[in-house]
C-alpha cells in the first residue's frame, strides 16, 4: 500500500479495493535495520483530552484484529513536515547532517513565529499509506505550515506527500494481511458511527527526533515553536 491519494475520499475508496496492505517492514520504521535510526520531524502532539478519548475509543474497536498493531498514546501526532534522517555523513537525498539539522531548527523559528494559532477537527477514521488514521480537518492550515517550512528550509528532503498533503493522526500500523477483511468491516462501522470528532486548538509545533527501534519510535523534543495567539 503506497498511498498518494489526492483526497481522503480517494484514500478510503482505494482501501476498499486492496487485497494486501503496506506492512511495517516496508515503512519508515524499518529503517533502523539499515543503520538509520534518527529521524527529525515537525509535528503537532495530541494532548487534548477529548481527542485522545476519541482516538482511544476507535483503537479499542480494532486492537484485536489480526495484523493490526496500535501505536502508543505518546506517539499520537499530526505530522507537519518530515525533516530527514540525521547522520554524520549523509549520502542519500532523505538524509541531513547535524549541521543542517541546526540550520533547519533556526529557519523554522523565523518561519513559524508569525503564524497564528488555529483549530483542527478530527474527521473520519481512514486507512492511509500503511496506517489506520484519523483525518484532520482544519481549512488547510497544516498543509500551509508544511509549505511554510519547506520554503524556509529547502535543504530538507522533499517527499511526494508534501505535494499531496493529507494531514492525519496515525493510530495503528500493519504487521500482516491476516485481518484485512475484518479491518475493512470495523473501519466502515466506525466511520458510520462517527463522521467527525472533537475540535481542538493547535498552539505550537514541535521539532522532534524519532529514535527508531524494534519496539517502535520514541520521541525526543528538540525544539518547540509557539504559534501567535489570536486573542
Predicted local distance difference test score (pLDDT) of residue 53: 98
Residue that is written with C-alpha cell 517527499 in the block? 159
Q: At 146, is the secondary structure helix, strand, or coil?
A: helix
What's the chain's Rg over C-alpha atoms? 17
In angstroms, the Cα distances linking 226 to 108, 111, 221 are 11, 11, 14
DSSP 121-134: EEEEEEEETTEEEE
Q: Residue 200 and residue 54: Cα distance in Å, rounded?
A: 12
Closest CA to 90 of 50, 35, 45, 139: 35
Residue that is written with C-alpha cell 531548527 in the block? 105
Closest CA to 19 of 224, 195, 183, 203: 183
Q: Is residue 142 part of a domain?
A: yes
Give the chain's domain count: 1
Q: Is residue 35 part of a domain?
A: yes
DSSP letter (8 states) at residue 103: H
Domain that residue 178 falls in: 8-226
Q: Is residue 231 part of a domain?
A: no
| 119-135: pLDDT as tens digits | 999 999 999 878 999 99
The answer to whether 117 and 228 have CB atoms below 8 angstroms apart is: yes
Predicted local distance difference test score (pLDDT) of residue 6: 82
- Report which of residues 35 and 186 the model is more confident about: 186
| pLDDT at residue 4 is higher than 70 | no
| 47-80: pLDDT as tens digits | 999 999 999 999 999 999 999 999 999 999 999 9
Q: Is residue 2 part of a domain?
A: no
Q: Considering the entire predicted model, what is its pTM? A: 0.93
Tell me the Ramachandran region of residue 135: left when phi exceeds 0, alpha when psi lies from -120 to 50, beta otherwise. Answer: beta
| 161-217: pLDDT as tens digits | 777 789 999 999 999 999 999 999 999 999 999 889 999 999 999 999 998 776 678
Q: Is residue 46 part of a domain?
A: yes
Q: Residue 134 and residue 221: Cα distance in Å, rounded?
A: 23
Give me the CATH number covering residue 204. 3.90.1140.10
Closest CA to 222 of 97, 106, 49, 62: 106
Four-point Cα dihedral 52, 165, 20, 215, nearest 10: -50
Closest CA to 127 of 164, 162, 171: 171
Q: Which helix (H) or strand (E) holds 192?
A: helix 180-193
Q: Is residue 84 part of a domain?
A: yes
Q: Is residue 16 part of a domain?
A: yes
Give burial (CB, 10 Å; 0-12/13-18/19+) of 202. Answer: buried
Q: Residue 98 and residue 132: Cα distance in Å, rounded?
A: 32
Q: Is residue 117 part of a domain?
A: yes
Amino acid at each position: 500500500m503506497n498511498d498518494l491519494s489526492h483526497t481522503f475520499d480517494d484514500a478510503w475508496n482505494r482501501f476498499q479495493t486492496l487485497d494486501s496492505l503496506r506492512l511495517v517492514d516496508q515503512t519508515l520504521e524499518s529503517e533502523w535495520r539499515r543503520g538509520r535510526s534518527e529521524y527529525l520531524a515537525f509535528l503537532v502532539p495530541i494532548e487534548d483530552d477529548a481527542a485522545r478519548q476519541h482516538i482511544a475509543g476507535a483503537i479499542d474497536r480494532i486492537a484485536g484484529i489480526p495484523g493490526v498493531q496500535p501505536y502508543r498514546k505518546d506517539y499520537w501526532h499530526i505530522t507537519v513536515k518530515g525533516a530527514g534522517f540525521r547522520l554524520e555523513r549523509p549520502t542519500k537525498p532523505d538524509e541531513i547532517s547535524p549541521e543542517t539539522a541546526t540550520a533547519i531548527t533556526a529557519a523554522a523559528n523565523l518561519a513559524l513565529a508569525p503564524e497564528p494559532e488555529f483549530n483542527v477537527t478530527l474527521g473520519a477514521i481512514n486507512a492511509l499509506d500503511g496506517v489506520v488514521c484519523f483525518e484532520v480537518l482544519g481549512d488547510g492550515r497544516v498543509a500551509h505550515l508544511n509549505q511554510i517550512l519547506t520554503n524556509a528550509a529547502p535543504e530538507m528532503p522533499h517527499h511526494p506527500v508534501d505535494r499531496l498533503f493529507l494531514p492525519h493522526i496515525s493510530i495503528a500500523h500493519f504487521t500482516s494481511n491476516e485481518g484485512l477483511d475484518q479491518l475493512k468491516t470495523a473501519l466502515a462501522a466506525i466511520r458510520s458511527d462517527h463522521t467527525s470528532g472533537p475540535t481542538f486548538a493547535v498552539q505550537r509545533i514541535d521539532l522532534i527526533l524519532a529514535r527508531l527501534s524494534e519496539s517502535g519510535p520514541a520521541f525526543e523534543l528538540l525544539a518547540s515553536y509557539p504559534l501567535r495567539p489570536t486573542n
